[in-house]
Amino acid sequence: MADSFKFELVSPEKLLVSQDVVSVVIPGSEGEMTVMAHHAPTMTAIKPGVVKVEAEDGSKESFVVFGGFADILPEICTLLAESAVRVSDIDPEDLAQRVQNAREDVADAKDDVAKAKAEEYLVHLTTLQGAL
């Protein structure tokens, strides 16, 4: 059996997860990454995507996150999300509203930098919408 480590998923609203796990898949800004016990210290930005958690007992749970960052140490991984929700609790209408808001942000962008950032976020959201 793989070693376990502490994982915490925190959003501004609440602590969603605080438990010992064997692995966590995180949508890092540079690509998806799997965190396991004894991982090298790392800090990464999180892009919108799905966090997959495997508990010590083999149970699995998934969460949708919308930005934030992860602080990874050999014995703990803390993910501070701008917004997070269990996949099983996702409201398709809420996700559709986020996509619509992102489209409006692209249209309302005041400069090329703001437009590029809004377009990138829209791509993440529509990819996420397609994955669910």
Give yes or no: residues 107 and 42 share one domain.
Answer: no
Give yes or no: residues 11 and 48 share one domain.
Answer: yes
- Domain range for 59 is 5-87
pLDDT, tens digit (0-9, with 9 covering 90-100), for 24-56: 999 998 999 999 999 999 999 998 889 999 999
Give yes or no: residues 29 and 76 share one domain.
Answer: yes
Give yes or no: residues 22 and 76 share one domain.
Answer: yes
Total domain count, the chain:
2
Tokens of 63: 């969460």
CB 126 within 8 A of CB 103: no
pTM of the model: 0.76
Tokens of 40: 């090298």
CATH number, domain of 36, equals 2.60.15.10
Output the furthest CA–CA distance in the chain (Å, rounded): 53
